[in-house]
Structure 1
Amino acid sequence: MLKTDLAARLRPAFDDDRDAETFLLRLERYGADLEGSLRAVYGDATDTLMAELLEVLIHAHHTRAPDLKRLDEARLLRPDWLQAPDMIGYVAYTDRFAGTLRGVQERLEYLEGLGVKYFHLMPLLKPREGENDGGYAVQDYRAVRPDLGDMDDLSALASKLRGRGISLVLDLVLNHVAREHEWAAKARAGDPVYRDYFHIYPDRTQPDAYERTLPEVFPDFAPGNFTWDTETSGWVWTTFNAYQWDLNWGNPAVFREFTDLILHLANRGVEVFRLDAIAFMWKRLGTASQNQPEVHHLTRALRAAIRIVAPAVAFKAEAIVAPADLIHYLGTRDHHGKVSDMAYQNSLMVQIWSSLASRDTRLFETALLAFPPKPTNTTWGMYVRCHDDIGWAISDEDAGRVGLSGPGHRHFLSDFYSGEHPGSFARGLVFQHNPATGDRRISGSAASLAGLEAALDAGHAGWTDHAVRRLLLAHAVTLGFGGVPLLYMGDELALLNDYTFEADPAHAPDNRWVHRPKMDWALAEAVQDDPATPAARVNAGIRALIAARQRTPHLHASVESRAVPSPDSRVLLLRRDHPLGVMLCVYNFSEHEVAFPTYLLRDQLGEHATDAVAGTHFTLQRATTRLAPFRALWLTQSEAPR
């Protein structure tokens, strides 16, 4: 129960009894999570921080618009809104999708027609001028990049999206700010209050001690984790780039600032926050300073604070870490289901590309079996490709279980997707080669990595057909996994690598821009005219998969996809135990027809099944079921047809 004296103290801050009751009930519900996690991090400083936070929360509650408050109530009545099978995600850069925020408003019909309900616009808050890590060096969280529009344009877009049932998703960089941010500028000017917002050291003693166990994120162009700043007369912690200053989350003032910032943006209509670089927030000597326990306390506290004012808002953790670490971002033990609402299932993407290259799903199966079950009120974000490079996050342990060398397989994948391996169909670029570890990440569009670029260059119809089928299989896996499938802009049109980035001085040093092309609106219209083109086939296939997903309740994200041992290494089997019955997803990762033993399907499903993708009925009585190259089946239990 909320303390009577606290409730009595807070009531005069509200003009309306019902409004007061709403706030106090939520404070009663989430207050313990907020205070408990803050106390675990800040100890005795928590009392002062809680008093400051209450002022921030009450102000944000008063300034929240009526339609957003209505959305809050609707989401409280349907807490699984982010888990529903009709939740389809789309990810785009504002300028590359439609020029400006106002331009995006003119393309909402396209998104709605595609079935999108979750729309992630890549970094658009005002970055520093010049190099800015693709927008992740934020100078002002309360302003929009000037060439895209302003905050009123953002609010207007959010409102238009909300009217169509589409949630606006924005990036919120938690680990660092741009060197030009107001806080950093005040720190450089010598203000002791703001110097404590960062990690600044007078000499190399502490930085050198930390460096002994810290990895390098960008070894090619940003080696090391500390940068000497002349104005500050100190070594500043800069994990990513010299112009991105890591924040000191050990300072309670930083927590208060971000609570205020998130609520400000939520009141502008942002419904989901992608918490960027979340794994790096807490620093600890003698560790990699990633995945520290305080990160989960801080995220739980932020989530609880936002729930009090804006329960319609959800958090997505951008934690590209090992499965054993990843699950903590959704919550374990005391944090179970109370940290982020969503996290990237980054292993799924890696395993899709690994299986397409090797035509072998044993590592895929093993990696999924290693994942602990997530809280049932959370969801995964799955993707075939994203804006970032592909890092081959394959553990030595998983590789060893299927008789592979971890380093050897990662080397094979880098060779294969950079086109260096004999027989490779891929056209990718090596990103951030680290000679010390041998790691080589890969850039490239989904279509070019799947072989479409090479096939079209060769004019080979068979290769083109295989590339299209690979792409559709990859999307079938993400759309059929359960969670929020995230379609990266242009993948629905099979856009190829865009090598024009090399002519742009702002993009040339970073080859990830090869898979960040501008949207081809002419092609989007043309796919309706000639259904035989690769782009049209991919577009029609993805739309058919989305429609199948939307009508299949078995794909609710509260249900886990579990790998089932497959007798054929080319075929991946994923089982979902839904109250309506078992669903078995069957994926052939090879260009060969597979005669699959039917008994295994029958053991999982019984005598009869329906493929949710094609709507066809299967009687599982023959000795074998023939799977065409790159075939995807979403089989659900059914009765014999009359």
Structure 2
Amino acid sequence: MIFNQRLMGYLEALKRKYDILYPECEAAFNDLMHMMQASFMARNDIYIEKDSGATDWIASGETVGMMLYVDLFSENLKHLKTHVDHFSNLGISLIHLMPILMPREGENDGGYAVKNYRAIDPRVGNLEDFKAVVSEFHQKGIKICLDYVINHTANDHEWAVKALMGEEKYQDYYLMYDDSAIPNAFESALGEVFPTIAPGNFTFNEDIQKYVMTTFYPYQWDLNYKNPRVFHEMVSNLLFLANIGVDMIRLDAIPYIWKTLGTDCRNLPEVHVILSLFRDIISVCAPSTALLGEAIVSPNVIVRYFGKEERLECHSLYNASYMVEIWNSIATRDARHMALMPQYDLPQKSVWINYARCHDDIGWGLDESKIRNLGFEPQAHKNFLIDFYLGSLDGSFSIGELYEYNPEKQDARNSGTLASLAGLEKAIESSDRYQVELAHKRILLIHALILLRKGIPMLYAGDEMGQLNDYAYKHDPKKMKDSRWLHRGRFDWSKSSPVFDAIKELIDFRKKAYGQKYIVEDQPLLIGNQHVLLIQQIIKEESEDYLLLFNMTEDRQWVYTTDLKRYGYHGVWIDLLQGKQLSFEEEKILLGPYEFLVIQKNILKK
């Protein structure tokens, strides 16, 4: 039997890791094994057949993602199914449906306060509607990603309701205390996620006269993973999602899931053990399902959530620092911000999610030591970026808004759609055709920076149409104080855009140039012109490297071929995008405004 064969390859590791968290729980471990077997037995034959390819698809050049809110894109799941051709025509092969599991009524943190992990938000449909979407999209070769909130449940989840009714079994699913002694001890070492709108990490519940740990909002109760029952329940939900056809499961807020008194309860070793167990379990029961981790932490910390070859964790993680450096480089016209990013060795076929915009704001988590080495003062540079993308600086092409502005710390984050931040809105308002042309080039360059690099490119719905800021939220009392709704507008199906065709062409190129090929190395090479980013790509199936050049400015830029020769590159090269030839024997190569090239040595020329 396939299950038994797979299990034997992981059994020893599963038991060793389980014992770290739950020592002397032999019966509980056996229950876990039975649950895994039952899940596999319930798995659809179609998915079992797909499992033979494991998660090779995440490292494929044919994988191109898009994230969207169902209600903003198509009102509901039934209508979403009718728009499948929009994605297939563009070349999208992975859709991330932003939170659609049933949330609590009322405030729900944008769907991240889940009431029921096995039901769909009734505002967009039901479970049968979701399964119909999965079936339709799979037939078109499009995979599905869903959010799975693993740190907490809503306070009206079934477990929470039973805890409120006094059932000790379910009170132990959460972190509850009769008095403030232990909560106060925790607080002495904890930071706050939302210090202004949700201060503290505990909420006193009047109904049961207990303090409940609530790291995020008072209505989100943190789960107690020290209880093996909680771990089993969450594994069961994980496998349920895999068995209804979810191809990638986004694990939300992973750094927070293990709590130890006296620590900051962030990124603790046990978190990595839990994620490694999740990875092993999914590899046994649904090996074609990938785990995407979400962690808003520094690059040197987030990379640990990939694990190591001998102890794998997440298949994929968000490359948030790359997103920040894209916008940094666009504003400064300085490619060094990207070229000097730290490079990490990842486990084989683990990949970053590369993106430029998403549902969230842009937070300027800059590498301060790198900023200083480039000759800038970090706080002043951060203020420059905040003001540039607000659009308040002379020479800024951007129109955006601030999110969570703190006047005391002179700190803020930025909101806005990709197109508006990249200059299209201001150009249209000014009736300036040349600036519109530059904005279109800028938008395409930004997409090229995520589509042509190693990893999974993830577009944000609406960006493929050059969608502008939506100011309607200012008239909605429930949204007017949250500027992130500026880039969460409804998808406008009445408009067409040349941006769509340009991005489609770029996606088609990605699939043709990379396809099933494996990028062994993807690294920046420093050159004399700081306005041009040079990337070296070593492709396993190609005898010659790819060189990628990106002009980060609206001006023409020259690259001296001596820079390229120093890296051992000579001869005649061809741009795979346009077909034009470039000779490294000439003195320099010209790049037009925001132009980018993908060049490979022309082996037919000597």
Residue aligned with 2:297, SS: coil
Q: Which residue of 2 aligns with 1:565?
A: 526
- TM-score scaled by length of structure 2: 0.95
- Conservation of the 8 A alpha-carbon contact between 1:481 and 1:555: no
Q: How far apart are the structure 2 equivalents of 1:221 and 1:605?
A: 55
Structural mapping, 1:69-88, within 5 Å: 69-73=48-52, 75-76=53-54, 79-88=55-64
Residue aligned with 2:558, SS: strand
Q: Which residue of 2 aligns with 1:500?
A: 472
Alpha-carbon distance change, 383 to 72 in structure 1, aligned in 2, over 3 angstroms: same
1:486-508 deviations in Å (ceiling 9; x for gaps): 01101000101111122233333
- Conservation of the 8 A alpha-carbon contact between 2:518 and 2:539: no
Q: Which residue of 2 aligns with 1:382?
A: 354
Asked if 1:358 corresponds to 2:332, the answer is yes
Structural mapping, 1:301-380, within 5 Å: 301-332=277-308, 334-335=310-311, 338-367=312-341, 370-380=342-352
Give the alignment partner of residue 63 of structure 1, picking from 25, 38, 42. Answer: 42
Give the alignment partner of residue 448 of structure 2, picking from 476, 487, 493. Answer: 476
* Deviation (angstroms), 1:554: 8.2
* Deviation (angstroms), 1:330: 0.8
Q: How far apart are the structure 2 equivalents of 1:495 and 1:155?
A: 29
* Deviation (angstroms), 1:559: 2.5
* Deviation (angstroms), 1:212: 3.7
Q: Which residue of 2 aligns with 1:34?
A: 14
Q: How far apart are the structure 1 equivalents of 2:118 and 2:112?
A: 14
Q: How far apart are the structure 2 equivalents of 1:268 and 1:639?
A: 48
Q: Which residue of 1 aligns with 2:588?
A: 624
Give the alignment partner of residue 557 of structure 2, picking from 594, 599, 602. Answer: 594
Asked if 1:291 corresponds to 2:254, the answer is no
Alpha-carbon distance change, 468 to 211 in structure 1, aligned in 2, over 3 angstroms: farther
Q: Which residue of 2 aligns with 1:3?
A: none
Q: 1:587 is matched by which residue type in structure 2?
A: F
Alpha-carbon distance change, 555 to 594 in structure 1, aligned in 2, over 3 angstroms: farther
Structure 2 stretches lacking a partner, 5+ long: none
Q: Which residue of 1 aligns with 2:424?
A: 452
Q: 2:584 is matched by which residue type in structure 1?
A: L
Structural mapping, 1:522-561, within 5 Å: 522-523=494-495, 527=496, 535-536=497-498, 538-553=499-514, 556=517, 558-561=519-522
* Deviation (angstroms), 1:431: 1.3
Which one is further off, 490-499 or 629-638? Answer: 629-638
Residue aligned with 1:508, SS: coil
- TM-score scaled by length of structure 1: 0.90
Asked if 1:408 corresponds to 2:392, the answer is no
* Deviation (angstroms), 1:613: 2.3
Q: Which residue of 1 aligns with 2:404?
A: 432
Q: Which residue of 1 aligns with 2:5?
A: 25
* Deviation (angstroms), 1:558: 4.7
Q: Which residue of 2 aligns with 1:516?
A: 488
**% identical equivalent positions:** 36
Structural mapping, 1:126-137, within 5 Å: 126-137=102-113
Alpha-carbon distance change, 146 to 613 in structure 1, aligned in 2, over 3 angstroms: same
* Deviation (angstroms), 1:84: 0.7
Q: 2:46 is matched by which residue type in structure 1?
A: D
- Conservation of the 8 A alpha-carbon contact between 1:482 and 1:555: no
- Conservation of the 8 A alpha-carbon contact between 1:239 and 1:246: yes
* Deviation (angstroms), 1:434: 4.2
Structural mapping, 1:128-167, within 5 Å: 128-167=104-143
- Conservation of the 8 A alpha-carbon contact between 2:187 and 2:201: yes
* Deviation (angstroms), 1:287: 3.8
Asked if 1:231 corresponds to 2:207, the answer is yes
Alpha-carbon distance change, 577 to 607 in structure 1, aligned in 2, over 3 angstroms: same
Note the aligned Cα RMSD (angstroms).
1.9
Alpha-carbon distance change, 210 to 418 in structure 1, aligned in 2, over 3 angstroms: farther
1:169-202 deviations in Å (ceiling 9; x for gaps): 1000111111111111122222211112112233
Q: How far apart are the structure 2 equivalents of 1:252 and 1:557?
A: 39
Residue aligned with 1:270, SS: coil
Q: How far apart are the structure 2 equivalents of 1:49 and 1:407?
A: 52
Q: Runs in 1 of length 4+ with deviation above 4 angstroms?
A: 434-438, 554-558
1:365-412 deviations in Å (ceiling 9; x for gaps): 222xx2321112211111110111111121222223323233332222
Q: How many residue pairs are counted as aligned between the two chains? A: 603
Asked if 1:576 corresponds to 2:537, the answer is yes
Q: How far apart are the structure 1 equivalents of 2:398 and 2:205?
A: 43
Residue aligned with 2:340, SS: helix
Alpha-carbon distance change, 25 to 479 in structure 1, aligned in 2, over 3 angstroms: same
Alpha-carbon distance change, 558 to 503 in structure 1, aligned in 2, over 3 angstroms: same
Structural mapping, 1:39-50, within 5 Å: 39-45=19-25, 47-50=26-29
Residue aligned with 2:549, SS: strand
Alpha-carbon distance change, 611 to 194 in structure 1, aligned in 2, over 3 angstroms: same
Asked if 1:399 corresponds to 2:371, the answer is yes
Alpha-carbon distance change, 604 to 193 in structure 1, aligned in 2, over 3 angstroms: farther
Q: How far apart are the structure 2 equivalents of 1:228 and 1:341?
A: 38
Q: 2:258 is matched by which residue type in structure 1?
A: W
Alpha-carbon distance change, 434 to 207 in structure 1, aligned in 2, over 3 angstroms: farther
Q: How far apart are the structure 2 equivalents of 1:555 and 1:395?
A: 34
1:297-351 deviations in Å (ceiling 9; x for gaps): 101101211222211111011122211111111113742xx11111111111100
- Conservation of the 8 A alpha-carbon contact between 1:445 and 1:496: yes
Q: How far apart are the structure 2 equivalents of 1:188 and 1:64?
A: 35
Q: How far apart are the structure 1 equivalents of 2:94 and 2:267?
A: 27
Structural mapping, 1:147-296, within 5 Å: 147-296=123-272
Residue aligned with 1:180, SS: coil
Which one is further off, 550-559 or 241-250? Answer: 550-559
- Conservation of the 8 A alpha-carbon contact between 1:203 and 1:235: yes
- Conservation of the 8 A alpha-carbon contact between 1:549 and 1:555: no
Q: 2:132 is matched by which residue type in structure 1?
A: A
Q: How far apart are the structure 2 equivalents of 1:29 and 1:488?
A: 38
Q: 2:209 is matched by which residue type in structure 1?
A: S
Q: How far apart are the structure 2 equivalents of 1:614 and 1:35?
A: 55
Q: 1:422 is matched by which residue type in structure 2?
A: D
Q: How far apart are the structure 2 equivalents of 1:282 and 1:113?
A: 43
1:239-285 deviations in Å (ceiling 9; x for gaps): 22121111112221111001111111211111110111112212234
Alpha-carbon distance change, 237 to 556 in structure 1, aligned in 2, over 3 angstroms: farther
Q: How far apart are the structure 2 equivalents of 1:435 and 1:206?
A: 34
Alpha-carbon distance change, 436 to 232 in structure 1, aligned in 2, over 3 angstroms: farther
- Conservation of the 8 A alpha-carbon contact between 1:127 and 1:178: yes
Asked if 1:53 corresponds to 2:27, the answer is no
- Conservation of the 8 A alpha-carbon contact between 2:14 and 2:277: yes
- Conservation of the 8 A alpha-carbon contact between 1:130 and 1:506: no
- Conservation of the 8 A alpha-carbon contact between 1:357 and 1:413: yes
* Deviation (angstroms), 1:223: 2.5
